[in-house]
């Protein structure tokens, strides 16, 4: 059983403050308690019930060993979401949403593999065989990949669910999830349409205290789910592999190294073309 959500704690965190009445979405009417000074007040009893409902579902997903992808690119939510997601070892996106992140996941995985290959090149000494300029280009490529995809490097398959803060800001992520029938959990403010989400948590999605409180409750349920797992074997145990399998892995790595090298050469050529000629 997940911990009971206390309405008083939600009140203290300011979860009940909605948007101005003129910005409201009529579909949020069932979750609105009243209007005060031109601002809608969210019914926290319904919020508490919805958090508990979402937590039960998230707990089951975590217990099954599948991943929940957290998405929040707005300034006041980025650091909180990154911190909370790291604590429960879940992937997260806090920079710009990469288009096709879900619908074109194979390509995204290739980019993540490039990052792993560059790391391996540095470990086995291959990196030092490159010229100084090539090493610089590879480092830049690695930094760019780390910034955009570093937080999902352990996500080897599509997530079982999305948890979103501010569905208006993350509408592209939600559309991609809908195409793939991935359930969406979200904090939904009074200016948004709750019909776009499978598990609605009516809450203030602008204040950092509100976001932190909601995420604390959600990640606590995920932690419970992970603790309840009967077996934790997500790639930890390595079975002996046949020679053919080893050859296939080596071939894949060679292919990725070739891709990285090609990309570096292309960037170098582009940089050379863009360099303006100095007048004598």
pLDDT tens, position by position, 116-174: 888 888 888 888 888 888 889 888 888 887 877 777 877 888 999 999 999 999 999 99
| Dihedral pair phi/psi, residue 242, rounded to 5° | -75, 165
Strands ordered across the beta sheet of 92-93? 92-93, 68-71, 161-165, 184-188, 199-202
| pLDDT at 241 (0 to 100) | 41
| pLDDT at 113 (0 to 100) | 83
The predicted model scores a pTM of 0.76
Within its chain, how far is the Cα of 56 from the centroid? 20
| pLDDT at 243 (0 to 100) | 45
| CA–CA separation, 105 and 102 (whole Å) | 5
**Closest by Cα among 75, 97, 53 to 186:** 53
Are 151 and 93 within 8 A, CB to CB?
yes
| pLDDT at 126 (0 to 100) | 84
Where the chain has pLDDT below 70, the residues are 1-3, 230-280
Are 42 and 33 within 8 A, CB to CB?
yes
| pLDDT at 269 (0 to 100) | 54
What lies within 8 Å, CB to CB, of 267 at 6+ separation is 137, 140, 141
């Amino acid at each position: 059983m997940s911990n009971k959500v206390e309405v008083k704690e939600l009140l203290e965190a300011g979860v009940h403050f909605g948007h101005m009445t003129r910005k409201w979405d009529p579909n949020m009417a069932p979750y609105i308690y009243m209007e005060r000074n031109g601002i809608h007040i969210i019914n926290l009893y319904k919020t508490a019930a919805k958090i508990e409902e979402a937590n039960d579902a998230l707990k089951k997903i975590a217990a099954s060993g599948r991943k929940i992808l957290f998405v929040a690119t707005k300034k006041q939510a980025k650091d909180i979401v990154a911190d909370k997601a790291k604590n429960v070892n879940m992937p997260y996106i806090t920079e710009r949403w990469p288009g096709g992140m879900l619908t074109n996941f194979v390509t995204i995985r290739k980019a993540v593999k490039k990052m792993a290959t560059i790391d391996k090149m540095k470990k086995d000494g291959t990196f030092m065989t490159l010229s100084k300029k090539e090493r610089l280009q590879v480092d830049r490529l690695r930094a760019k990949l780390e910034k955009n995809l570093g937080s999902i490097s352990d996500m080897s398959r599509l997530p079982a669910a999305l948890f979103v803060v501010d569905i208006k800001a993350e509408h592209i992520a939600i559309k991609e999830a809908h195409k793939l029938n991935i359930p969406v959990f979200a904090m939904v403010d009074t200016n948004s349409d709750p019909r776009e989400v499978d598990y609605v948590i009516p809450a203030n999605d602008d204040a950092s205290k509100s976001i932190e409180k909601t995420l604390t409750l959600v990640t606590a349920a995920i932690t419970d789910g992970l603790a309840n797992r009967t077996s934790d074997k997500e790639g930890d145990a390595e079975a002996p592999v046949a020679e053919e399998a080893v050859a296939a892995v080596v071939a894949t790595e060679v292919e990725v190294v070739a891709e990285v090298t090609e990309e570096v050469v292309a960037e170098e050529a582009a940089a050379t073309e863009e360099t303006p000629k100095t007048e004598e």
